[in-house]
């Protein structure tokens, strides 16, 4: 059975059949340190919309090593170490980084820049997409469970 969006590694598969609720190019320092990419394409799904076929086969670690009690956990495959998703302890969202988590980035284009901080000295993005210093102001977190 095929799904609208599919990713993961050869041991743990994820999929979604509904559209994401947010899709941005992240400039934050946590993404930088976790992915070692200058910016990170991050896609948020409603928690119930991103499904994992083998959840017991993942290791969980704090997404932000400097904030181990924070809500987001980075889930990685217990066999091959591939990052699978970010899971939210409050069950509001699940997030993926398409190019690292087995998804096709072109099928999920980011609509804006998030957490851009001019103090980093990085030139302001000029690709025409909106630039925000946090998430887009109209984004609201789904209720958790």
Residues binding Zn ion (CB under 5 A): 9, 11, 26, 28, 31, 77, 79-80, 82
CB of 71 to Zn ion, least distance (A): 14
CB of 133 to Zn ion, least distance (A): 12
User: ∠47-85-91 over CA atoms, to 5°?
Assistant: 25
Tokens representing residue 90 in the block:
């409050």
Residue number, 32 or 145, with CB nearest to Zn ion: 32
Cα–Cα distance between 4 and 117 in angstroms, integer?
34
CB of 6 to Zn ion, least distance (A): 15
Residue number, 9 or 101, with CB nearest to Zn ion: 9
Q: Which residue has the tokens 């998703």?
A: 85
Residue number, 16 or 77, with CB nearest to Zn ion: 77
CB of 32 to Zn ion, least distance (A): 8
CB 118 within 8 A of CB 124: yes
Residue number, 12 or 16, with CB nearest to Zn ion: 12
CB of 52 to Zn ion, least distance (A): 12
| Sheet of 83-88, strands arranged across | 58-62, 72-77, 83-88, 93-96, 40-46, 22-26, 112-114
Closest residue by Cα to residue 96 from 8, 37, 4, 3: 8
CB 110 within 8 A of CB 99: no
Residue number, 34 or 145, with CB nearest to Zn ion: 34
């Amino acid at each position: 059975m095929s799904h609208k969006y599919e990713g993961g590694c050869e041991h743990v598969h994820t999929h979604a059949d509904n559209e994401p609720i947010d899709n941005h190019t992240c400039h934050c320092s946590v993404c930088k340190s976790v992915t070692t990419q200058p910016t990170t394409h991050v896609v948020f799904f409603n928690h119930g919309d991103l499904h994992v076929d083998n959840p017991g086969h993942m290791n969980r670690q704090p997404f932000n090593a400097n904030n181990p009690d924070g809500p987001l956990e980075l889930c990685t495959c217990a066999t091959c170490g591939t990052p699978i998703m970010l899971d939210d302890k409050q069950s509001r969202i699940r997030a993926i980084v398409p190019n690292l988590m087995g998804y096709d980035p072109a099928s999920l284009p980011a609509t804006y820049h998030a957490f851009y901080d001019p103090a980093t000295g990085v030139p302001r993005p000029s690709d025409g997409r909106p630039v925000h210093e946090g998430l887009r102001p109209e984004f609201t977190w789904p209720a958790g469970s």
